[in-house]
Amino acid sequence: MGPGDANIAGNVHGGVIMRLCDEVAGIAAVRHSGQRAVTAAMDRMNFLHPVFIGQLVTVKATVNAAWRTSMEVGVRVESENIRTGELVHTSTAYLTMVALDDEGKPAAVPPLSPGTSVERRREKEAQLRRDHRLAERERIEAARGEETAAQAGAPGGGSSDGS
Ligand SMILES: CC(C)(COP(=O)(O)OP(=O)(O)OC[C@H]1O[C@@H](n2cnc3c(N)ncnc32)[C@H](O)[C@@H]1OP(=O)(O)O)[C@@H](O)C(=O)NCCC(=O)NCCS
C-alpha cells in the first residue's frame, strides 16, 4: 500500500480495501460462472484491524455458494509487514455477485459441489446470510405496506383530492 491509498489519518483508506475486495470477488465469480459478473450487493464488510502504508495486502476470494444466477463470494484480506513477515487478518467481506449473459440479463450459474467440511460450512453459512437477507427484505416491505395502509386510513389520507 502506498501514499495514494492513505486516508487523512495516514492509514489505508477503507474504500481502497473495499475496492480490492470487489475486484477480487468479481474475478472469483467470473471464474466460477464462466460469464461476466456484476456486484449486486456487498452484504457485509468487517474491518478487524487497520492496514498501514508500506504493508503488503493480499486479498483472497472464494465462491461460498451458488444459487440460480447469484453467488456469494467470501473475501479475506491480510496485511503483511514485509520486514518481519507478520501477517494480520484485517478484513472479511461477503459479496453477492450475479452472472450476466451477453444481453446483460441474469444468467444461470453452475452449482457448487463442496467437497471438504470447510467448503460445506461456508456454503451453509452463506445460505443463512441469504435467508436473513430475504427475510429482512420481506419484513421491511410488509412494514412499508402497513404504513401505507395506515396513512390511507388516517383522516386526510386516501385519495389525492382529499375525499
Ligand atoms: C444485479 C442485477 C443484475 C439484478 O437484476 P434483477 O433484475 O434484480 O434480477 P433478478 O431479480 O432476476 O435477480 C437475479 C439474482 O440477483 C439477486 N439479487 C438481486 N438484487 C440483489 C440484492 N440487492 N442483493 C442480493 N442479491 C440480489 C437475486 O436474488 C437473484 O439471485 P438468484 O437468481 O440466484 O436467486 C441488477 O440489479 C443490476 O444490474 N444491478 C447493477 C449491478 C452493478 O452495476 N454493479 C456494480 C455496482 S457499481
Average pLDDT per consecutive 10 residues, the chain (163 residues; last block may be shorter):
94 97 98 98 93 97 98 98 98 98 98 96 97 95 91 67 39
- Sign of the C-alpha dihedral, residues 3, 50, 89, 86? positive
Instruction: Name the residue at shortest CA distance from atom 12 of ligand 1.
Output: 106
- Sign of the C-alpha dihedral, residues 78, 133, 28, 6? negative
Instruction: Name the residue at shortest CA distance from atom 17 of ligand 1.
Output: 70
Three cell numbers, residue 3: 501514499
135 C-alpha vs ligand 1 centroid, how far in Å?
Answer: 16
How much is the pLDDT for 143? Answer: 96
How much is the pLDDT for 156? Answer: 65
Which residues have C-beta atoms less than 6 Å from ligand 1?
A: 38-41, 67-70, 96, 98, 106
98 C-alpha vs ligand 1 centroid, how far in Å?
Answer: 6
How much is the pLDDT for 155? Answer: 74
Q: How far is CA 48 from CA 24, 87, 89, 145, in A?
A: 19, 13, 7, 38
How much is the pLDDT for 107? Answer: 98
Cα distance between residue 24 and residue 63, in whole Å: 11
pTM for this entry: 0.90
Instruction: Name the residue at shortest CA distance from atom 10 of ligand 1.
Output: 106
Cα distance between residue 66 and residue 111, in whole Å: 6
